Structure formats: C-alpha cells, structure tokens
Amino acid sequence: MEREEGGRKKEDGPWEIPPTWQWVRMGDISEIVGGGTPQTSDPANFGGSVPWITPADMSNHIGKFIAYGARTISERGLENSGARWLPKGTVLFSSRAPIGYVAISSEPVTTNQGFKSFIPENGIDPDFVYYWLVKAKPLAEKLASGTTFLEISGAKAALIPFPIAPRNEQIRIVKKLEELLSDLDAGVAELKATQKKLTQYRQSLLKAAVEGTLTAEWRAERAKRGEPLETGAQLLERILAERRRRWEEKQLAKFKEQGKTPPKDWRDKYPEPVKPNTADLPELPEGWVWATVEQLGYVQLGRQRSPSKLTGRNPVKYIRAANITDSGINFSDVLEMDFTETEVETFMLKPGDILLTEASGSPQHVGRPVIWPSAEGLYCFQNTVIRFKPLLIGSEFYFRLFQAWQTLGKFIEIAGGVGINHLSAGKFSSIVAPLPPLVEQQMIVEALSTTLSELIQQEKIIEKGLQQAGAQRQNILKAAFSGQLVPQDPNDEPASVLLERIRAERGARESSGGRRRGRKTREGVA
C-alpha cells in the first residue's frame, strides 16, 4: 500500500484519506444489479403489486428514501423482464438520462434499466454509500459512454472509486452529515420557495400586462379625459397597408431589374397574411384587437447548418438556439459558417429583431425569446431560431408577450417532434396575438420595466445563495470523504479488516453457490 505524506493513503483514489481507510471500488463492497422494462405493448405487464422505479420518478423526488414510483408492474411483467427485486437498503443510482440520481430503497423495489443499483455488503452502511454516490457523480460520469446519451454500464459502475472507512466511523460520518446537511437543506428550501414565488409573480405580472389588466386604470383615466387614441384596429390597418406597400415596392424593383413591364394583375398575387380565427377567443380590453403574428411582422427561419458550409471564403458568425438564454444572448459560444452575400442580406440580424428558439430538447425552452442587441460585427442566424421583425410596432411589448407565452406554456402546447421539440415558423406565424394601441404598448413596457428589473435583481441574489449552498454542500461532502469531518477513533477496527471479512463472506457464498443479487421473487429481499 502506497503511503503519502502524513501517513495518508492514495492508492487508486482521487484524494488522500486517513491511514485506517482504504480506496476500493464499488464492485468490492456491493453487489451491482440492473433493471428492466416489461413489454409496454402488453397491458397485463403493468398495474400490479410490484413497485417499479424509473429515473423519471427520481427527477422531482425529495428525500433520501424511496419506496415506489409513478407506475407498478405485475408479477408477470417482472418475470418477463430484466427487473429484479432489490432488498430494503439498496442504493439506487440512475445510470442514464441522467446519470446521478440517488436514493435508498425503504422497502423492496424493482427498477427499470435506467439504474445500476448497489446492494451493500455487511459492514457497509447504505447511508454512507448514498452520500458517497451524491459526491461521486462526476467520477461516475467520467466512466460513462454513449452517442445518443451517456450511460454507465454495470462493469463501469463497479469501477467507481469508494473510500471504505471503519464501520463505526461510517456511522459517525453519516450522523454528522445529516446534522449539517439538514440545516443547509432548510436554507435551500427557503431560497427555492422564494424563487418559486418570484417566478409565479413574474408570470402573473406578464399575464396581466399582455391581457390589459396592468393598464386598466390608465385606460379608464384616459377615457374620462376624452383624449383621442389610435385603436388597435386602426393600427392593424396601418400595419397591413404598410406590409402591402413594401411588397409592391419590392415587386416593382424586381420587374425593373429584369427589364419587364408589370402585368396588369400583378397586385392580385400579393400573399395575404393569415387572418385570426377569433371564434373561441376571450374578449379584449377596449381599443385592443386580435391579429396573427404574421400580420404584425415578418417571420423567418434561419439558414440550415450544412457540413459543406462550415468552412468557406466568407465565414460569418451565426446565432443558434443554444445561444439564446433567459438572460439574453450568450456570445461566449458563437460558431461560424460560410454565407454568400445574398444569404448575408437575407439572414443578417438587426437591432430590434426578436429571436425565439425554434427547436430544443426541452419543451420548456421552446419559444424562448430575446431581443437582438446592437452587437458589434456581423451576425446571422441558424434554422433552429425563428426571427420576428415587428412592423410599425416596437419590439419590447411583443418580446414580453412571447415571454409570457413561453412561461405560461403556450409554446409547449403547439410544439411537436420526437426527442427534439419544434415550434416551426408556420405554427408561430398563425398564433393569434393581442394588438393594443401603440401608446398603450409603450405604457405597458414602462410599467413592466421597473418591476421586472427589481425581480431580476432579487432572482440573482437567490441564485447566488443557491450556488453558495451548493459549494458548501460539496465542501462538506469532500471533508466527510477525506476523513476530516469527524475525528478518527484509534479503537475502531480498520477498513482493511472489514474489507477482508467482506471478501471472506463473498468467497463463502460463491463456494456454496449462493448469491445476494436481486431476485425474481420477493422472498428473501425483505
């Protein structure tokens, strides 16, 4: 055994540990069991008495222990799948989509194939293993492989390092961890509760803004004073007239360039934007009118990314969905590809353009909007992004409207696709939107500006607090598994003796033909 400075050991381990500890592998101190899914086409495989847990059940799970998931399987489903009964005290570890959800079974359970579950040997505390796997997630991820998604196999899971401590010290560490982490978790829960309230307030504020509630008193006061106001209907007429005028101007320029005389019926070929179907829509505030997004501006998908265009004579930076965040454009990861002069003219971004994510692996991120800033240099955009160029109206109100739609789930309702969710330019163009008078749009933007900026500051403070809590948690776990959280007791049996006993017990089981692995029947797992 190699010894480091101060008598500490570092054999096959990522950091130094006390001399009474020992670095081993997860396969040395536990049995590793996978899971399975019965044929989903056979309803008889599901709805039985067998608790069956998937990574999805763990995504919003709170607490260290778990006993059931959203679905159950039948005894028949268990028999005809790779699932196995796992005894109480098994440490469940999601091995894909994503890697790193951890929980301890408080009752016998089964899992699907998204887990590599660890059944600790005698002398290895399940709680100690639980906290270790929470800490060791990055170490596990380094062992994963895969193209569609990363996955850690049973053989690789067995190679995850494990710092085996004396049995009594394991118990002392767990007790101290739960003391420290319970206080930390209480603080985190309070921060997240406040964060949730701010999110709900933001949603209600945006909803009130785009529905006209926010400016109801302003409209009433203006009506009392009898002040004239261009209505939304009148504004829409101006927009549609301007839209047609620009089309006609462009067509005449084409005829002139081609040396042709415009035919008599050329104006009849104008592509009218889709009109709104208002049959089932709620009543709007006085002076507002319904319109489709296409009526209010120009909707366009960006240029498709092509391997042949990644290099060329005219490299241009382009914005893709990954660059659009809740905080604005992320310029730290902007890519380039070749654009012709014509393509640059078509896809060049200009201040005031509203960009929305057209495609995302997460439904919640579809339709995420940003306003293109006055950025230095030339930028175009990819076809994972939709551009909306408002016509005769400001960008800010419709940016807030699209924000409201995204946070309230409107884009999720219309997005489609398997694996990747697509909004599509066609679906976005046909969405029916409210059009307030231009003056009222400006009032709404002003009313939102101060409140939202205050909200952003509060959200940043909370996010910083959560980050600090996360860092503190990692420091506590690092101290725990470095032997620095509780003092060592010289009377404790060293880990080397415990490890030898585990090996002896395993050898005896193998000699007798026995095993501790998950079973097809519940017998012997309780």
pLDDT tens profile 306-350: 777 777 789 999 999 999 998 899 999 999 999 999 999 999 999
Residue 519 lies in a domain: no
The answer to whether residues 286 and 321 belong to one domain is yes
Q: What is the mean pLDDT of the chain?
A: 92
Residue 520 lies in a domain: no
Residue 384 lies in a domain: yes
**pLDDT attached to residue 517:** 57
**pLDDT attached to residue 514:** 63
Residue 263 lies in a domain: yes
pTM here is 0.73
400 neighbors 212 (Cβ within 8 angstroms): no
The distance between the two most distant Cα atoms of the chain, rounded to a whole number of Å, is 103
The answer to whether residues 315 and 446 belong to one domain is no
Domain that holds residue 295: 230-436
Report the share of the chain in percent with pLDDT over 90.
Answer: 82
The answer to whether residues 139 and 262 belong to one domain is no
**pLDDT attached to residue 310:** 77
The answer to whether residues 431 and 455 belong to one domain is no
The answer to whether residues 138 and 185 belong to one domain is no
The answer to whether residues 131 and 93 belong to one domain is yes
Residue 361 lies in a domain: yes
Instruction: Give bridge partners of residue 52 from the DSSP assignment.
Output: 71, 110
The answer to whether residues 250 and 398 belong to one domain is yes
Q: What is the CATH number of the domain that holds 251?
A: 3.90.220.20
**pLDDT attached to residue 10:** 46
SS3 of 83-115: CCEECCCCEEEEEECCEEEEEEECCCEEECCCE
pLDDT tens profile 146-165: 877 789 999 999 999 999 99
Residue 260 lies in a domain: yes
**pLDDT attached to residue 8:** 42
The answer to whether residues 247 and 202 belong to one domain is no
Residue 523 lies in a domain: no
Q: 258: which 2 tokens?
A: 């081609």
The answer to whether residues 251 and 162 belong to one domain is no
The answer to whether residues 84 and 190 belong to one domain is no
Total number of domains in the chain: 3
What 331-334 contacts at long range (C-beta under 8 Å, 24+ apart), as own/partner pairs, is: 331/375, 334/379
The answer to whether residues 158 and 14 belong to one domain is yes
What is the rounded average pLDDT of the residues 412-417? 86
Residue 525 lies in a domain: no
Which residues, 6+ apart, have CB-to-CB distance to 250 below 8 Å? none
The answer to whether residues 150 and 243 belong to one domain is no
pLDDT tens profile 249-258: 999 999 999 9
CB-count burial class (<10 Å; 0-12, 13-18, 19+) for 248: middle
pLDDT tens profile 423-480: 999 999 999 999 999 999 999 999 998 899 999 999 999 999 999 999 999 999 999 9
